[in-house]
Structure 1
Amino acid sequence: MVPAIDGIGMTSRRTRMRLIQRLREAGIRDEQVLAALEEVPRHIFLDEALAHRAYEDTALPIGYGQTLSQPYIVARMTELLMAHKPERVLELGTGSGYQTAILARLCDMVFSVERIKALQDRARERLQLLKTRNVMLRLADGGMGWPERAPFDGIIVTAAPKVLPDELLAQLADGGVLVAPVGETQQMLVTVTREGDSFHTREIEPVRFVPLLGGVVR
């Protein structure tokens, strides 16, 4: 069951503001990103049994071996993406739909790919609850991206590939940016910017994500 948007004490504005203050103290500077995290009720993207932990700065399970990333990582990746002011963004790994909802408040259009149908169905329900209308969802192997909708000004990957697939880089628009965790036992958050046929990678910080897997789970 999806928790209600309003009503219980943990979802109060004060509780969310404490989280936003912690994110500021951790180094998040983009006020538009912080405003989006303040506006989106994180608790509705969790099962009721975990909703009371929604505003902790920690990753939480959403089933099927997947997690809802900690707010700091969501904010950091979004901040890196939005530094390039993308209008059309591809998200690989819809998961709970929380990152999707954040992006929808900051970009003109979000194209989000998920490989697990049950997660996609729940994400769609939550996005509809928030009246989010600038998101398109697709059930597919995330490693292949969404070539029919390419190119994208920004690509954000919410699971870690061992190496970045060439198919994703090819879908990045000239001047665009890709933000992703990369690696297996040791993972690094990186940004890749495209200039013509050249791709420039910058290492940001060590992270820990679930692996990017192939195939569709219906």
Structure 2
Amino acid sequence: MDFDILRRTMIDTQIRTWDVLDPRVLAIVTEVKRELFVPTAYRHLAFADYAMPIAHGEHMWTPKMEARILQELDLREHHRVLEIGTGTGHMAALMARLSGMVHSVEDRADLSQMAEGHLRVQDIHNVQLHVGDGSCGWVDHAPYDAICVTGSLPALPEAFKEQLAVGGCLIAIIGKGPAMRAQRITRTQQNVYETTVLFETEVTPLRHAPVPGRFVF
């Protein structure tokens, strides 16, 4: 299979048509070889508009969603990034190409180990992998200039906002299927946050996510 032709087709028919036009993002999507991050059995579908199953019932985001989120994060070379949900390491690889350091947290050790191998093959060294529960963020290296939560949350824990640097933004998928919304939360001042709804989608829920308390009448 000619992966380069498939990659160009994916960019033209999926990514560009979803209003992803930032030349930096398009360049990184071209450079980072997505086919090397997907399970071998699904390599022929690496560029399909498809949420790729990986292991443990988890899925990769579609290519257009990865690219759109990457554009919305607007990463810079000095940024410190937190990713919750490493998966195969592909999103971490994309973010690493545009930022200074990515801290990626995965609660399944085998997935983290797999991602480490993928990143090594791609010669990406500015990703630090952590195994643990990131359902309320990862305070050890906070504050972060950008936070990306790859699994959906019923509601956003306040801890994520507290771990965000002033001027930084986080993107999370909030809600329960099928009514989930991708949201960008920007910390404009120490105690001021602005929220923008980006689009509707449905992704695999984040494990161990805190369940919001119910009102009792």
Q: Is TM-score (shorter-chain normalized) higher than 0.5? A: yes
* Structure 1 residue aligned with 2:215: none
Is residue 18 from structure 1 mapped to residue 18 from structure 2 by the alignment? no
The one-letter code sitting in structure 2 at the alignment partner of 1:148 is D
* Structure 1 residue aligned with 2:196: 202
- Shift in Å, 1:86: 6.5
Q: What is the SS of the residue equivalent to 1:73?
A: helix
- Shift in Å, 1:57: 2.1
Give, in whole Å, the separation in 2 of the partners of 1:39 and 1:65. Answer: 28
Is residue 160 from structure 1 mapped to residue 152 from structure 2 by the alignment? yes
1:16 to 1:209, Cα distance in 2 relative to 1, 3 A: same
Stretches (4+) displaced over 4 A: 83-86
Q: Which structure 2 residues correspond to residues 40-189 of structure 1 after superposition, within 5 A?
A: 40-82=32-74, 87-185=79-177, 186-189=179-182
Give, in whole Å, the separation in 1 of the partners of 2:76 and 2:28. Answer: 17
Give, in whole Å, the separation in 2 of the partners of 1:167 and 1:98. Answer: 25
Give, in whole Å, the separation in 2 of the partners of 1:209 and 1:121. Answer: 23
The one-letter code sitting in structure 2 at the alignment partner of 1:206 is E
Q: Is the 8 A contact 1:95 1:119 kept in 2?
A: yes
21-30 or 120-129, which deviates more:
21-30
* Structure 1 residue aligned with 2:207: 213
- Shift in Å, 1:144: 2.5
* Structure 1 residue aligned with 2:212: none
The one-letter code sitting in structure 1 at the alignment partner of 2:112 is Q
Give me the TM-score of the superposition, normalised by structure 2.
0.91
Q: How many residues align?
A: 206
99-108 or 20-29, which deviates more:
20-29
Q: What is the SS of the residue equivalent to 1:68?
A: coil
Structure 1: which 5+ residue stretches go unaligned? Answer: 1-8
- Shift in Å, 1:212: 1.1
Q: What is the SS of the residue equivalent to 1:67?
A: coil
- Which whole-Å deviations, capped at 9, do the CAs of 1:113-154 have from their partners, x for residues lacking one? 001111111001100111111010000111132211000000
Q: Is the 8 A contact 2:75 2:146 kept in 1?
A: no
1:83 to 1:99, Cα distance in 2 relative to 1, 3 A: closer
Q: Is the 8 A contact 1:143 1:167 kept in 2?
A: no
Give, in whole Å, the separation in 2 of the partners of 1:106 and 1:67. Answer: 23
CA RMSD of aligned residues (A): 1.5
- Shift in Å, 1:78: 0.8
- Shift in Å, 1:58: 1.6
Give, in whole Å, the separation in 1 of the partners of 2:118 and 2:30. Answer: 17
* Structure 2 residue aligned with 1:6: none
